[in-house]
Amino acid sequence: MPFEYAVEEIDYIKGLAREMGGPERIKRQHDGGRFTIRERIDRFLDPGSFIEAGPLVGATEYDADGNLTGFTPGAYVMGLGAIDGRPVAIGGDDFTISGGSPHNVSKGAGQFTQPLALQYGIPYIQLVEGVGHSSKSDETRGHMGLPAGAQWHRLARLLARVPVASAVLGSVAGAPAAYALMSHFTVMVKGQSQIFPSGPPVVRRATGEDISKEDLGGTKMHVRTSGQVDNEAENEEDAFNQIKAFISYLPNTTNSVAPRVDTGDDPNRRVEELLTLMPTDRRKPYDPRKLIRLVVDNGEFFEMRRRWGGSLITGFARLDGYSVGVIGNDPLILAGAMDGDAADKYAHFVDLCDAFNLPVVIFLDMPGFMLGSGAERKATMRRGIRALIASAEAQVPKVEFNVRKAYGVAADAPHSLGHPDGLNLRFGWPAGEWGGIPIEGGVAAAYRREIDAAPDPEAHRQMIEDRLLKLRSPMKAAHRFDVIDLIDPRDTRRLACAFVKLAQPMLHDLAQRPKRAVRP
């Protein structure tokens, strides 16, 4: 029967597509420690959930009788799938076919997965391993043309509507590199992934710099130095799990609120260990991530950008089953001070929480902006002002626990987060201290002449500092209503959970606001 023949032909061509670039190139992919795109999608999605779009798209050759004699699949695999039953749009480059850039086939995310995510309001996942534009395509067309630019407008619309997450899974250059970075979350694999506008051969030709692809664009460069990529993964499975964790905290669209999850953790659980976590010596550090894990549901905390802007901690957790953004300071790095990188990290994270209607919980131990010529060269204050603006513009509610220091303009960023005319939900711990400038620096500046004139300048300076230290008592701040209350640290979880539950109606109202793209 003719239809039976047609079905056989469809199955035959789909079988050719599943062969990708052929056994030799698949082996090369595996020898490099990388999965193929079809293996990646199978491992990422719920079993049996993938509905492929465009499996018959490719470069074809037919003989005079209309019989197919050659078929090269399009080097992009895409479609609809599910993660834990939640629909997602997903696609990725097939590096086994011309490095993901075949010169004679037009197939890509803009034809299906991006419009699907936009129209139906579902997360968009990119598994990226491609080299971008091929000069061979110019030769095939017989001319070079100006880039159209329409894809960037579509990606900006995606960033304003749905969660976008990308895994960089090999060497990525050109447009695919830009696609990967136009995401709310990007992860790359240590020792396997590199990302750059152009690779070492183009760099060498353009600038004369001779550099390896790992030094040019590996995780050491972009996770730990430039901060262009959020997180580092040990392997591809780890990268997939990080993306799954990331989107699990977010709603499907910026016009909705993340659903509550039954975590089984009592919101009234009293955390005894918090009473002794903070050292009595204000100069000694503590483990801020342990503090966070003790407070949030089941100790589960998904951190973003841990390797960059390290004095600031940002990530997602749940409290009483509700998704929250978490911000803290790490006293083990720059004493928790805000430098330029931390300011940029703060601004991006606040924008992300505001876009997806996530309340923010802050554990503040901020001694101020980072000081010194190095900080000045990095434009710390200008970048810090960007953090202040992000806070001033954000409307999602926040609750702040002043666990120790809160000094200067830098501490105003978390203070000002939330509705400008709303209540300042701030609680103090007994170790709290706050003011316009840290006591040590303030004394050195304000009492310089008096100290210099003293018979024993060092002893005189210490005497003034000891005198002023008595003024830092959090009890005196509580008397002035600088905080809602001075609390027993063991009650932190209960209060945070109560706040997050209280915030839910407001979050549903905020979800109806017009949204703009979150800038990477």
Both tokens of residue 310? 């390290």
Residues 317-325: what's their mean pLDDT? 98
Confidence label for 99 from pLDDT (cuts 50, 70 and 90): low
Where in the chain are the domains? 35-53+75-248, 274-435+473-510
Is it true that 35-53+75-248 and 274-435+473-510 share their CATH fold? yes
pLDDT at 7: 86
H/E run at residue 286: none
pLDDT at 408: 77
Confidence label for 271 from pLDDT (cuts 50, 70 and 90): very high
CATH number for 274-435+473-510 (one of 1.10.3720.10, 1.10.10.60, 3.90.226.10, 3.30.930.10): it is 3.90.226.10
**If you search the block for the tokens 């089941």, which residue do you land on?**
298
Q: How many CB atoms lie within 10 A of CB 492?
A: 23
Among the listed residues 475, 472, 447, 480, the one whose alpha carbon sits nearest the alpha carbon of residue 461:
447
Burial status of residue 512 (CB atoms within 10 A of its CB: 0-12, 13-18, 19 or more): exposed
pLDDT at 288: 97
| 241 vs 109, residue with greater confidence | 241
Confidence label for 358 from pLDDT (cuts 50, 70 and 90): very high
Task: Look at residue 470 and tell me whether its pLDDT is greater than 80.
Answer: no
| Sign of the torsion formed by the C-alpha atoms of 329, 440, 471 and 392 | negative
Confidence label for 407 from pLDDT (cuts 50, 70 and 90): confident
Task: Look at residue 102 and tell me whether its pLDDT is greater than 70.
Answer: no
Task: Look at residue 459 and tell me whether its pLDDT is greater than 60.
Answer: yes
| 64 vs 435, residue with greater confidence | 64
Residues 417-433: what's their mean pLDDT? 77
pLDDT at 136: 56
Percent of the chain with pLDDT over 90: 57
Confidence label for 213 from pLDDT (cuts 50, 70 and 90): very high
| Sign of the torsion formed by the C-alpha atoms of 178, 181, 184 and 187 | positive
pLDDT at 106: 72
- The string of pLDDT tens digits covering residues 488-510 is 999 999 999 999 999 999 999 99
Tell me how many degrees the CA angle 326-324-319 measures, rounded to the nearest 5.
105
Residues 183-193: what's their mean pLDDT? 97
| 408 vs 477, residue with greater confidence | 408
Q: How many CB atoms lie within 10 A of CB 106?
A: 12
Burial 37-68 (b: 16+ CB within 10 A, else e): bbebbeebbeeebbebbbbebbeeeeeeeeee
Could you tell me how far CA 80 lies from the centroid of its own chain? 23
Measured CA to CA, the distance from residue 305 to residue 326 in angstroms comes to 13
Confidence label for 135 from pLDDT (cuts 50, 70 and 90): low
pLDDT at 411: 80
pLDDT at 490: 97
Cβ atoms of 336 and 405 closer than 8 Å? yes
pLDDT at 233: 98
- Could you name the CATH architecture of 35-53+75-248? Alpha-Beta Complex (3.90)
Residues 327-350: what's their mean pLDDT? 94
pLDDT at 29: 92
Average model confidence (pLDDT) across the chain: 87
pLDDT at 469: 66
pLDDT at 49: 97
Least confident segment among 228-232, 323-327, 443-447: 443-447
Percent of the chain with pLDDT over 70: 87
| 3 vs 234, residue with greater confidence | 234
